[in-house]
Every structure is written in structure tokens, then in C-alpha cells.
Structure 1
Amino acid sequence: MRIYKVGGAVRDRLLGKPVTDIDWVVVGATTEEMLAKGYRPVGADFPVFLHPKSGEEYALARTERKSGRGYGGFTFHASPEVTLEEDLIRRDLTINAMAEDDQQNLTDPYHGQRDLEARILRHVSPAFAEDPLRVLRVARFAARYYGMGFTVAPETLELMRQLSQSGELQALTAERSWKEISRALMEDQPQVFIEVLRECGALKVLMPEVDALFGVPQPETHHPEIDTGVHTLSVLEQAALHKQPLTVRWACLLHDLGKGLTPEEEWPRHIAHEHTGLKLIKAVNERFKAPKDCQELALLVGQYHTHGHRALELKPSTLLELLQSFDVYRRPQRFEEFVAACEMDARGRKGLEQRSYPQADYLRGAAIAAHSVAVQPLLEKGFKGPELGEAIKRERLKALKAYKEAASA
């Protein structure tokens, strides 16, 4: 039995990056031997075990053969005869197909270290094209390591293109796709993930609503970058730069989908795109089974982001409706995330990234003003039921009028 550290742990150590998760491969062992040493089996698909003390995953060296469609369409074969090189060749990228023993002696049969030094993301073997999930994984790695100068090898991009055209991407489950998408959006350069997907044709298959934004013009006075797709990438870039959470990044990606439906004769204006885009945002949400908080914020940002930009001009009654739409009194965090998404949208414009966004503090102040209305005095006056609700609404409107007047003074 020989045990090797493999994959990301080896890659990140060589890159000088912190190593978080460690994967181990066991060569020359049987399931029975692992169980006898106290390892606990996990998963029914292939022999993976948890270490009796550390809880880390140890997998028996295995080969795989394509037997069906999609990410799960593989037959695995694990036995003591499977070599380390045979196990490594089934991995996605050369930089992930290296192993080291407990003395840090490197096993690198597919030149991963060379590609690390050359800053290239390259597939290990033609079997890469058998797994559609790898399209998303490579795009995610491109987003993660873009800042270090990594690019996707042309021949790997070509295989990704072939996969995108093969129909295999449609076989991916919503859960697997979302796992990759959500991880990619939380990388330092999430816009690169979208760019790579678009370059290989996968964006058109997975998110045609986002792909449709490229080439759609916007008024240059408000959007110096003009192209709606380019703007969306810039908004996503700003969201990452400002360390926004996943909910905000997802909303930033989807906020302008309605502009993809504007008839060409109406370009570059996009009247009511906030409303026309809602059905598209809903479709993308459902396709990937995004978490509820991501779904809700994306729809609210899609519908109300222009309200956010015009916050200083809104009538107190419109401001009150906006706050109520977000249930701001019970869910203040969601409104804060809306404000953040609006600010990222404003900053995601060429040359305007550093411009101040006073709307953010104005909206926060409005929420505080409305929230400060005390309910107890109204109860003491005898209001209850629907009458109490109307009385609270009147008082909040009064508070917002006073807030607007003070802000304008």
C-alpha cells in the first residue's frame, strides 16, 4: 500500500498558495485492507474512505470508462493493480494530475509542473471531452488563477467547444452546475468564468439569457462601455473587488437580462427592461435551482435597480413602496444587499468605477427613518388589525417626507 497526496493540494503548494483541502490516493490496496485499518467507507459509486483520525478522504487508485451521458455516466474500476499514472490520467488538467509522497517527491507524468510555470490550463488526455462538467471546472480555474497570468490552452478550449456543441452540457444536473457556478462566482475574477464559457460556446447553452446581452448597445451617456454584456462582466468584476457575497454576485450577473429582449429598432434604449427581464431571471434561477436567497435577491434587483439609481428623485410614497417590497423591517440584510448590488451596477461602467454613489447612504437612511416609527403609541391610540397597518404606513410616509426634506436642505 502506497499513499500519495494528489490534485489541488500539490498544485497549490507548488504555486505557493495556502493548501486547504487535501485529497489522497491509495495505490496497491483493496477495500478489505482499508476497512481492516479502520478507514470508513463513503459513497456508493467508487471506493472512497475517511481516515479514522483526520477524517480526510482517501480514494483507491482507479480507472474510469465512459458508459453514459453527463457527469455521472462513468464506470469505475478500482484494484491493487491500478497504477498511480493510470489514476492521474483520468483527471481534468495537467496541473491537477500531480502527486507527491510523504517526502514531497513529485510524480508528474503529464507535465503539470511545466504547465504551472508556463501558466497554462491544459487537459491531461482526450478523455477530457467525456465529462461535460470539466467545461465549467476549467472556466472556474481560469477565474481563480487569472490574476496569476493563467490562460486556457487553445487545444483545451477546442475540446471545450466540442463539448458545448455535443449536447452533453444539457445532461448536467442543476445541482452539479450550481456547485461550479457558485464557486466560480466567488473567485477573485468571476467575470473571467463567464468570458471563458462564452468563448467556448458553453454560455449560449447554459445561460442563453446572459449570452444574448453581448452586442446589445446601451445609451453611451449612461454607459460609456455601450455593450450590455461587457457591462455585466464589469458589474461582476466590481462585486468581486468589493468582496460582495454570493447573493449580490448572482444578482449582478442577472440584473439586466431584460435588455436582451429589447427589439433592435428600440436600441440603445431599453424601456421597462426591469419588468421584461423578470421572467428570464426566474427561468435561470429555476434552471440551476439557485438557493432561495439568491433567487429572491436576483428578482428584486432586476425589478428595482433603476429605483436604486434614482433614489434621490423618488417620491416618499415610492420610497415607502420600495422598502415594503423588500420587507425591510424584518429582513434588513436583504435590503442592504440590494443597495450593494445597485452600487456595483453603477460602478460597473467604463471610467466611472470610482465615482461616488450617494444613493447608497440615502437608501440606508430612508430605511432607518421608516424603521424608527414606533408602533406602541399607535396601539395606545386604539389602532388594531388593518387599521393599525394603515396607521403605521401613514406614519412611515410622514417620516420619509421629513427625511427627504432634511436630505434636500
Structure 2
Amino acid sequence: MQQSVSRENFEQWMMPTYAPATFVPVRAEGSTLWDQQGKDYIDFAGGIAVNALGHAHPELQQALTQQAAQLWHTGNGYTNEPILRLAKKLIDATFAEKVFFCNSGAEANEAALKLARKYAHDRFDQNKSGIVAFSNAFHGRTLFTVSAGGQPAYSKDFAPLPADIQHAAFNDLASAAALINDRTCAVIVEPIQGEGGVVPAEPAFLRGLRELCDKHQALLIFDEVQSGVGRTGALYAYMHYGVTPDVLTTAKALGGGFPMAAMLTTDNLASVMVVGSHGTTYGGNPLAGAVGGKVLDLINRQEVMDGVEARHRWFIDGVEAINKRLNLFKEVRGMGLLIGCVLSDDFSGKAKQINLVAAEEGVMVLIAGANVVRFAPSLIISEQEVKTGLERFERACEKLVRGLAT
């Protein structure tokens, strides 16, 4: 008999690094979840852009269970069929020629930054170690990646931080150009800043970074952990911009809910990572490979990409209709199904409050800082789920505007 548990047990047993919602989800299907009391919620959060095919997708279930009956894990002393097939699918679909698999976006970014340093040291000299990143970025929680992320709130308690990392202003090419020089080994950037407020890069900004990296023989790393795997209406956001990075990191939706990530790069760059230079115990295991392969099969289709654009319009039209009545947001921005609703000055700092009231009304949303409500739902969320979720979101917004939210 299983032990009975509740939300209250979190404070008793779990390290207090999170502040989870007051309810505990126990079951989900599509973009609808149910909690321990049987209350249903429409999921506009998508597990933070992870559940790109919703919950309990039957083909992902089948891929996982079939592989689970064959081979779970061997460690990196061996390779396996599912992960090799997934590597080839990623190579065929992108600029990449080589793939490194790991478990999370932070690990993928850590690998990318290590690759950049090693490439510079091997091909140039030990002094070519500078990394240029951007303010309000987010690249993960390891010490290296949290240092590259330009949000001091996440890094200030863990000093001394890794050295030789500088931050320019996002979408400000002059600011970046002032920092990028011949000692720079890499520039890491999100094509769309996710945690930083759902801010798309301007095309000229990314083109300029590409030119600066070429000029100074630095690697251009695109962090597509949140924007990748169909989220923007292209398999990866770089495809919208026509700017090809040297290294791309991908995670979140790649496993459709199963923890996995990858770093993609070229033959030339990958060649410096020789046996023993990097690794991870679980990265590229057969279960992840089987699920990730099926995720890519299902998402990398034109009908899905077209569907993302249609759903983008459903959300934008719905939020704008709400805003016309309530005047709560001063801007709605983003690409595809990564959408940020920026609060007006009168409601500054109240994104978390909307998040909480929305849950009371039966819809799950995200925040991206104190002033942005973020949506990152399933790429195949149904029109009825969007309609129902937006109705619930409107009730939550109305409560906030009228001062009824507790």
C-alpha cells in the first residue's frame, strides 16, 4: 500500500529550493491536468516548454514502454541503437554534423562553453578564453552556466564565480562589439530570451554577432533550450533568422517530458573533444533516445509547424481581447508558442500574483520575471483547451484588476 502524501509534506521532506503550487497534479492527458482532489487545470505552462506534445501522448508512451522492455541503460562505455538514430535525425534536420547527449539544458550549455574554451586553447592559445553573454539571460544553474546567465540574483550567493565572462546588453550590437575581441572564445545567446522576459532577438543583432564572431574567430553558441524543437514554428529558432551558429544547445521539448538534452556542432569543432575530455553517466541512454526520436518524428513536420503559427494567433487574439477590456498588459510579445504578456505599469510586479490566481481559476501559466506572464503550452494543444484556458485566465485577470485577488 502506497503512503499517502500531500503538498504539506514538501516543507517537511524537500530541500526548500522551490515554492511549488498549492495543488499536486496526479494525472494528465493532452493539455489538461487533474489534482489530488479531482480539480482540472488547462496547461498553458507545458512543464516550462517541455511538454511539446502534451501529456501522456500515446506514441511517446509506446516508444518508452517498448524500449523499457528491451534495454534501459548501459553507461557511456557502450552506445545504443535509439540514440544513434536520434543523432542522425538531428544531423539531418539541422546544420550539425556531430551530437553530444546529456540530461538537461544546463548540462548542454556547460558542454558548449567547455567546447569553446578547449577549441580556443587547442587551436589558438591559453589566453583566448573570454566568454561574452547577455544581461537577463538564463543558461542553467551549474556554476559555469549561472555565471554566463546575466541575472545576478541567481549567481551572487555562489562566489567566487568562474572568471573571464562579460555581459553585454541584449539586442544592443554596439554593447556586444565593445566586449568581443581576439581573446573571446565564445558568444552565447538565446535567440529568444525566455526567463529574461520572452524577448526575441532582432535579426540584425544576431547577424551582427555572427559577423563579430567570424572576425574574431570566436564560436557563436545559440542556447535553444527553450526556443527549440518547434516552439517558434520552426524546428529551431535560428532557422527563422537565417543565422547559423557554431554550436546549438537543445533540451526541454527534445524529450517531450523525458529528461534529455543535446549539444549540436560541426565536425571541426567536435574534433577537439577527445575520449575522456567530457562525459555524463546518463546522457544518451536508450530510453531517452527512443522517446526523443519519436518526439522529433512527430514534431518535425510542416503540419505541426503550421499548427504552431495558428495557435500563436489563437493566443494573441485571445489575450488582446482580454486586454482591450481590462487594460492589464502593455505588450504581448514572443514567437510561436513562447509568448510573454508584459504587465502595464499600474500592475508592475504582479506576475506571480496572476500565476497564483490563474491556478485558482483552473489554468496553469508561467512567469518570466516579476512583470511578464508567460505561456509555453503544448504545440498541439486543442482549440477547445485554448478557449477554456483563456476564459479561466480572463477571470483571473479580472480578479486582479478589480482588487479581488488575495
Q: Name the TM-score, length of structure 1 as normaliser.
A: 0.24
More strand by share: 2
Which structure ranks higher in relative contact order (CA pairs < 8 Å, sequence separation ≥ 6)? Answer: 2
TM-score with structure 2 length normalisation?
0.24
